[in-house]
Amino acid sequence: MDRKNEILELRIEFSLLIIALFEELEMIRKYLIANQLIRLGTSIRAIIHEAQSSESKQHFIHKLKIAAKEATETEYWLSLCNKSENYPSTDRLLEKLLPIQKILSKIISTTKKSIK
C-alpha cells in the first residue's frame, strides 16, 4: 500500500473514532469540545481526500499542510479533553493521530523534494 492510500485508511478509522467520541461527549453535554473535535477530526480525512485530485504538486502540498494544521488542532483538543476532569480518556485517539501526523509530514517533505 502506498503512503497516500495508507493515510486515507488511517483517516477513515480515526474519523470513526472521532464520531464515537463526539457522541459520547454530546451525551455528557460537553458540547464545545464535541463540536470542535467533530469538525476538525473529520475534516482531516476530507482534506486529504480532496488533495488526491489536486491540479499540481504545489496544490497537493498546500492541501496536505491544511490537513496537518487540522491534525495539530485536533491534537490540542484531544489533549485538553484528556487532561480535564469529567471527560473521557482520549489516549487511544492521540495514539492513532500520531502516525497520521508523521505520514502527512513525510508525504509533504517527499513531495517538496520531488518539485526541486
Q: Identify the three-state secondary structure at position 115.
A: helix
d(CA 77, CA 44): 14
Q: Is residue 116 part of a domain?
A: no
Residue 1, pLDDT > 70, answer: no
pLDDT in tens, 6-17: 666 767 889 899
User: What pLDDT, on the 0 to 100 scale, is given for residue 4?
Assistant: 53
Domain range enclosing 39: 3-109
Does residue 29 sit within a domain? yes
Place of cell 492521540: 94
At 78, which amino acid appears?
L
Residue 84 grid coordinates: 480535564
Strands, E assignment, 1-116: none
pLDDT at 94: 97
Number of independent structural domains in the chain: 1
In a domain, 52, yes or no: yes
**Burial class (CB within 10 angstroms; exposed 0-12, middle 13-18, buried 19+) of 56:** exposed
| 71-107 tens-digit pLDDT | 999 999 999 999 999 999 999 999 999 999 999 999 9
CATH label of the domain that carries residue 39: 1.20.1440.60
Tens of pLDDT, residue by residue over 26-48, are 999 999 999 999 999 999 988 98
Cell numbers found for residue 39? 469538525
Split at pLDDT 50, 70, 90, the class of 52 is: confident
CA 64 to CA 99: how far, in whole Å?
Answer: 15
